Structure 1
Amino acid sequence: MAQQAPLLEANGIQKRFGSVIALRNGNLTLQPGEVHAIVGDNGAGKSTFIKIISGVMQQDAGDIMIEGRGVTMRSPHEARSLGIETVYQDLALAGHLDAAANLYLGREVLLPAPLGWFGLLDKRTMRRKTEADMRRLKIGIKSVEQSVMRMSGGQRQAVAVARAVAWGKRIVIMDEPTAALGVRESLMVLELIREIRNQGIGVIMISHSLPEVFDVADRITVMRLGQSIASFAADETSVEGIVRMMTGAEAQYLTAAVDG
């Protein structure tokens, strides 16, 4: 039987800004129903890498494949058409709108009108579908009619994730999903990531919290100085080993061992 192609493959991705090389060799393989964490110090190239995968930027070199098919994403819209959604740190939610309106912002459902689909918003349908999405992801909020500005940080993060999952049928990218959250809310978000994985969606997660990475990730890619330098199954490495790779201490240790 032929082996199934990975959900996503990014090979040899490069990005330059003038004379500055932001990404010199980005590599990542994502399987369906897998949480793949990307870790590295500031300036390692993580953000540039996911912006390319999400269509915000275009690579100067390298290839991206979705389920074995080469793709070119010239915009976030093209990435979304391939089933890729991204949750950034700022969440990009409209605070004055409720959860349902945020899930359908830019994708509003309209009531039928005599001359076509130019009628009023079908709020009932949007709320019903939002409630179904929340139940599917086991997200507990008081009401989908509650304005986002009145929600806790964890609840707002959950709404942003629910929106991504509702439209990202293949891949959800999460940039520092627990940043600025308390312990309890962070645990809620991590449980939400597990629920996404259980539904067969691939998750790419950037995080500076290595304990959280090891709590939820199946695979970890380490980036340093614009390169993907190593990729491990999470149960085959340790926090200490990842830190050594991130800081270059592992390479220094190996060099010293060879020289000795």
Structure 2
Amino acid sequence: MTAVRLTGVSKLYGNIRALKDVSLEVESGQITCVLGDNGAGKSTLIKIIAGLHQHDGGTYEIDGEQVRLNSPREALDRGIATVYQDLAVVPLMPVWRNFFLGSEPTTGRGPLRRLDVPLMRRTTRAELLRMGIDLRDVDQPIGTLSGGERQCVAIARAVYFGARVLILDEPTAALGVKQSGVVLKYVAAARDAGLAVVLITHNPHHAYLVGDRFVLLKRGTMAGSHERSGITLEELTRQMAGGSELDELSHELAAARSQAPEEAPGQQRT
């Protein structure tokens, strides 16, 4: 089932065209990877899907209905959650408090109304375990967790609060190899739970580990769209690195090297 479909979407910022004729289909139970270097248009695409910005051209559909979202709240109400690279957490607050931040359940009435702390603790631990995340203590400050663990908490939170479409903005960009593997494991778990996942990344190796579909952006336009069965990691990496442009550069460098004067025997560079 197609959860989100963008067809021929364009976006202008004044005279700057950030996106031009970009199409994207996001299926439930699949991971769609959007790849591109800095300035390729990935951030603009995220903001359109997440309701931060509106598209200027083309169509945006959710469950087959054309929409123009006016805010991230509208996106959330339709089940679209975005986990940004710079996670919005309060480092000194415990994990359970960050898990419910802005949506805290309460107990009691009137002047006796208070936060239902036991429920938040139990729920946070249960939901993290359901995603395969076994934290030693949900009372520890979230700032003491590794970057990968914080990303995983954010993913579990989005799933708990009813996300059907999960957008992940460069979740492994600032992580080492081991922590990146941890995050990708939980990205795959979200897919296996039936969510439609959009993984934004500039790393083709990470994308190929979990992706079902790959969309390549370059300077705001589509440079390719491939099913996993139709492309190898080597070809995906080649296209991501510039493809024919990279080949042309290699030939130019090889030609320059062959034309460089050879040093005389015993001559040293200064």
User: How much does 1:167 deviate?
Assistant: 2.1
Amino acid of the structure 2 residue aligned with 1:156: R
TM-score by length of 2: 0.86
Are the structure 2 counterparts of residues 252 and 88 from structure 1 closer, same or farther at C-alpha, using a change threshold of 3 Å?
closer
Secondary structure of the structure 2 residue equivalent to 1:13: strand
Report matched runs for 1:222-233 at 5 Å: 222-233=216-227
Amino acid of the structure 2 residue aligned with 1:77: R
Alignment partners' CA distance in 1, 2:40 and 2:61: 23
Report matched runs for 1:67-106 at 5 Å: 67-106=63-102
> Does structure 2 conserve the Cα–Cα contact (< 8 Å) formed by 1:85 and 1:164?
yes
Question: Is 1:191 aligned with 2:185?
Answer: yes
User: How much does 1:100 deviate?
Assistant: 1.3
The answer for the alignment partner of 1:176 in structure 2 is 170
Q: CA RMSD in A?
A: 1.9
Report Cα offsets for 1:136-175 as digits up to 9, x if no partner.
Answer: 1111211211110111121111112222222242111001
Question: Is 1:217 aligned with 2:196?
Answer: no
Question: Is 1:161 aligned with 2:139?
Answer: no
After the TM superposition, which parts of structure 1 deviate over 4 Å for at least 4 consecutive aligned residues? 250-253
Report matched runs for 1:17-36 at 5 Å: 17-36=13-32
Report matched runs for 1:52-71 at 5 Å: 52-71=48-67
User: How much does 1:74 deviate?
Assistant: 0.7
The answer for the alignment partner of 1:44 in structure 2 is 40
Amino acid of the structure 2 residue aligned with 1:93: V
Computing the radius of gyration over CA atoms, which structure comes out larger, 1 or 2? 2
> Does structure 1 conserve the Cα–Cα contact (< 8 Å) formed by 2:204 and 2:240?
no
Amino acid of the structure 2 residue aligned with 1:35: I
Are the structure 2 counterparts of residues 227 and 119 from structure 1 closer, same or farther at C-alpha, using a change threshold of 3 Å?
same
Secondary structure of the structure 2 residue equivalent to 1:7: strand
Alignment partners' CA distance in 2, 1:190 and 1:211: 11
Question: Is 1:129 aligned with 2:123?
Answer: yes
User: How much does 1:229 deviate?
Assistant: 3.1
Report matched runs for 1:6-17 at 5 Å: 6-17=2-13
Secondary structure of the structure 1 residue equivalent to 2:106: coil
Report Cα offsets for 1:169-222 as digits up to 9, x if no partner.
Answer: 211100111122121111111110111011100110011111111101011011
* Identity level (%): 38
Report the number of matched residues. 247
Secondary structure of the structure 1 residue equivalent to 2:115: coil
Report Cα offsets for 1:105-145 as digits up to 9, x if no partner.
Answer: 11110112147xx8111111111111221111111211211
Alignment partners' CA distance in 1, 2:222 and 2:196: 19
> Does structure 2 conserve the Cα–Cα contact (< 8 Å) formed by 1:154 and 1:185?
yes
Secondary structure of the structure 1 residue equivalent to 2:163: coil
Moved more, 240-249 or 140-149: 240-249
Report Cα offsets for 1:213-249 as digits up to 9, x if no partner.
Answer: 1101011011112112321112321233234434553
Q: Which runs of 5+ in 2 are unaligned?
A: 248-270
